[in-house]
Amino acid sequence: MRYLAVSTALGLAMTSAAFAEDPVKIGVLLTLSGPPAVLGEHARDGILLAEKALEGKIGGRDVELVIVDDEGKPDIAAQKARELVEGQGADFVVGPIFSNIMTAIAGPVTSAGGILVSPNAGPSNFAGKDCNPDIFVVSYQNDQMPQVLAQHMNQQGIANVYLIAPNYQAGQDSLNGFKALYSGTVAGELYVPLGQLDFSGELAQIAASQPEAVYAFMPGGMGVNLVKQWNQAGLSSIPLMSAFTVDETTLPAEQDAALGMLTGSNWAPDLDTPGNAEFVTAFKEAYGRVPSLYAMGGYDAMMLIDSAVTAAGTEDREALRTALKAADFPSLRGELSFSSNNFPIQDFYLTKAIKDDEGFYRTSVVEKVFTQAADSHVGECPMN
């Protein structure tokens, strides 16, 4: 079976070498079902919008998108990633949303000769010891978002903080990333089971401890419930600062309960960069909602691939890698380049939830917190 797969891959490599004007095939692997489906839908819509903006061409060649749902399950994701690259002959795979999926698909994609471009997930191991010349993370490294809040709290002189996250790898990473930079005292840490929706017990603990601020990592529906219950429990006097908890995917449900809450991001809809306003307008027109950083990540991933294929084509792998690494594309975030580990060097911002003039709930830039920051794991990456 393995020989068969290898020979198929070789065969495909030869055919694509033989016909340089074949369409560029891009597999899109996102979580499109279950409670966190909305994150994947945003990324997918960003990718489709980029395809439309590029008029269906990548590097001047027709593009063929194959969109698959990983169902949020690593085993299914690995199987579908393998099928995309080995079965369908995808040159690139854009995905995933979740870090645990990334771990599952990195091997299947790269070992079969595909290039993985992540529009969102950026787990620390791929920034450090497991960095790979065929993996490009166009989004951020997971630690960086919580560190925006940690830096802000340090600047504000917030002396003690309570931390809350779901009890799984990304939750622990988020709190560890925060603690690595935060200089005050951690009053307490709460880990809740993934999927818990009633936080009455946890909110009582926080109320009893009366910290100066709370840092939360509570993605998707959990975040919606935490934010809604926060004010109900009378905690509005304590600032709730978060990452991946208050954004354009959760704000439609959180609405007024989240207004004014601070969050960390590498982008916001009103970020003043070339092309960003046009992107936001086009997205709103096409899909009737404000794009999130997931949509931005999907869009930028496609633009990165287009720039590299334009410069180097798809046959010469080494030239393609070099072209990708040059990051010679107009990112919606403005200035962006890649570190030696293929993770981005970019600006990070403190953002705030607002209701804009058109009545949309969205995030808005408050201030720049990090300028052209690289992640902290790059030193552990053997690629240099």
- Residue ranges that bind another protein, judged by CB under 8 A: 33-35, 37-38, 167, 172, 188-193, 195, 197-198, 200-202, 204-205, 207-208, 210, 221, 224-225, 228-229, 232-235, 253-255
Cβ proximity to another protein: between 230 and 348 the closer is 230
Give the span between the Cα atoms of 344 and 331, in whole angstroms: 11
Q: What is the closest distance, in whole angstroms, from the C-beta atom of residue 163 to another protein in the complex? A: 9
Give me the least distance between CB of 274 and another protein, in Å please. 32
Nearer to another protein, 214 or 304 (CB): 214
In terms of CB distance, is 51 or 69 closer to another protein? 69
Taking the least distance from each CB to another protein, the nearer of 254 and 375 is: 254
> Which of 33, 88 has the CB closer to another protein?
33
- Residue closer to another protein by CB (options 88, 210) is 210
How many of the other CB atoms lie within 10 Å of CB of 154?
14
CB of 210 to another protein, least distance (A): 5
CA dihedral 368, 257, 146, 39 (to 10 degrees): -100
In the complex, minimum distance from the CB of residue 20 to another protein, in angstroms, rounded to a whole number: 42
Distances (CA, A) of 170 to 41, 144, 178, 222, 341: 20, 13, 12, 14, 20
Nearest to 74 by CA among 82, 85, 64: 82
Please state, in angstroms and rounded to a whole number, the distance separating the CA atoms of residues 24 and 279: 23
CB of 118 to another protein, least distance (A): 23
Task: Measure Cα distances from 61 to 6, 15, 58, 176, 245 in Å.
Answer: 26, 16, 5, 44, 39
Name the residue nearer to another protein (CB basis): 25 or 228.
228
Nearest CA-CA partner of 135 in 93, 97, 100? 93
CA 379 – CA 38 distance, rounded (Å): 35
CA 98 to chain centre: 8
Shortest distance (Å) from residue 207 CB to another protein: 5
In the complex, the smallest distance separating the C-beta of residue 302 from another protein, rounded to whole angstroms, is 24
Phi, psi (degrees; rounded to nearest 5) at 180: -65, -30
